[in-house]
Amino acid sequence: MSSQLLEIRNLKKTFSQGGEIINVLHDINVSVEPGEIVALVGPSGAGKSTFLQMVGLLDTPTAGKIMIGGEDMTRADDKKRTLYRRELIGFVYQFHYLQPEFTALENVVIPQMIAGKDKDFAETRGIKILSRMGLQHRLHHRPARLSGGEQQRVAISRALANSPSLLLADEPTGNLDPETSDIVFQEMLGLVRKVGIGAIIATHNLDLAAKMDRVLILQGGTIQ
């Protein structure tokens, strides 16, 4: 087993458009250690979302390797990739994508039950995580009754509910006002550090990026 949580070697991604080959990403080499929080910054269209989709096993690279825990996931079949996504990776997006018919607690409990957790265990863990995010008084509110910041905190709690080894966040506070963004971001970093997992967090906010352990700059299709 590798000492690195994540190792990316010579990663490349190309698309074909109108008969033209477009190089979106090339020659990317990145490693993330357990417990390390890494910022990913770069201009719009630089390929940050594409990069995170490949690391999250939602897309496959044109060339190169993505190693998780020392295992080459670029060679894994769809079944194994799905298993790894469910058990090892947590996702947070710019929009919360909560299920509107369920409460905050239910939105955190259901993914755990899908992963095979007992309902009582899932509820206990859900309450614990949501309380750490300052939502102990909002457990039984549906998303429509939550503020934007509260909704995103539920989404972060959901991403961490199954104890992933790696958190991937794509502009997780991009839809929030600056003050709420800073509060939610600090709570997310605090919780990620507390549970001790690795994270790659894409953001346009350089002040927030500076609060992480390391900053990767994605520009011109590669890491500068």
For range 50-72, the mean pLDDT: 90
Task: Place 1 in a pLDDT band, splitting at 50, 70 and 90.
Answer: very low
pLDDT over threshold 90, residue 175: no
Task: For residue 147, tell me if it sits in a domain.
Answer: yes
pLDDT of residue 10: 94
pLDDT per position as a tens digit, 66-82 = 998 888 888 888 888 88
Range of the domain at 153: 6-223
Task: For residue 1, tell me if it sits in a domain.
Answer: no
For range 91-102, the mean pLDDT: 90
pLDDT over threshold 80, residue 206: yes
For residue 75, give every residue at least 6 positions away whose Cβ sits within 8 Å of its Cβ, in sequence order, or none: none
pLDDT of residue 136: 93
pLDDT over threshold 70, residue 149: yes
3-state helix, strand, coil in the chain (%, to 5): 40, 25, 35
pTM of the model: 0.87
Task: For residue 33, tell me if it sits in a domain.
Answer: yes
Domain CATH for 136:
3.40.50.300
Could you give the number of structural domains in the chain? 1
pLDDT over threshold 80, residue 135: yes
What percent of the chain clears pLDDT 70, i.e. is strictly above it? Answer: 99
pLDDT over threshold 60, residue 173: yes
pLDDT per position as a tens digit, 10-23 = 999 998 877 788 88
Task: For residue 193, tell me if it sits in a domain.
Answer: yes
Residues 115-149 as b/e (b if ≥16 CB within 10 A, e otherwise) read: eebeeeebbebbbebbebbebeebbebebeebebb
Task: For residue 89, tell me if it sits in a domain.
Answer: yes
